[in-house]
Structure 1
Amino acid sequence: MGGIFIKHKIILLTRKRVMIYALIIVVLILAIIALTHLMRNREEPAASSNSFIYLQYKDGKYIGNEKTDKGNIQVEVTIKKNKIKDIEILEFPQEYLSARKELKDETAKVIEKIIKTQEITSIEGMEESSYIVNKLLKAVRIALDQSLLQ
């Protein structure tokens, strides 16, 4: 007549015990979130340091010059703390500006986007303004290349 006898135990849930269990669950959830956050942060730098070495800009002011069919585009790029802080247009063919008044606004938007995103991307399209804006971007790249070489 052997066998396993299980004694039943009745657990009374009081308001105090419910609060304690809820607190334990909240602490466990927070601990899990903190652990996953720490593990994710630990993995990212290790992966990037093993894969690539990123080029960094050296602080200073650099001039880039690009020729167009109607003159030169010359820019001065200011680098501070390895980031593009300012781009100033020193020379720009007036023929382009007189032909298209909105070109001045387009170039200002492009420069603002470069400073904000720290990326230089080409403008696609067959319009004359995209040709000019791409020449402006090339002048900025030339200035940034000087920063990398020094």
Structure 2
Amino acid sequence: METIQNMFKQVHWANLRILETLQNGGVENKQANYLFSHILHAENVWFTRLVGADSSHLPIWEEVSLESCAEMVNQNNHNFTEFLSTLSNTELDQILTYKNSSGSQFQSSIRDILTHVALHGQYHRGQINQLLRAAELEPINVDYIMFSRSGS
């Protein structure tokens, strides 16, 4: 459990760093904002599935303002922190049945879903960094080792 909890602390840390970079970049990067919105929407969709609620009405690819992103970063962190605080090691292997955004039904373990959420965001944060570099802005290091070194 400790490893998964640390992964989600890193997710929040990385989201805050990306948010700050996008807010202070000086130039709006619409594609980077779109990808960041997607990360946050996807985190919310997966959280909704984890708690057994219907996620079919939730957006996945909808751009929102950076102000809304800031709210979503904090809400997603709150949701996952609360969820993980009540989860036991044995519950990680519990299989959940859920429907994806196309309505197809799948089954996955809670462990696999949580791992996916962390890795999915990291993938798209890499894309955001590539866009920042192309715009001649400094990419932000969101590697897990940087998080662990920071003592966050």
TM-score normalised by length of structure 1: 0.27
More strand by share: 1
Indicate the structure whose relative CO is greater, using CA pairs within 8 Å and at least 6 residues apart.
Answer: 2
TM-score (norm 2): 0.27
Q: Which one has a bigger Cα radius of gyration?
A: 1
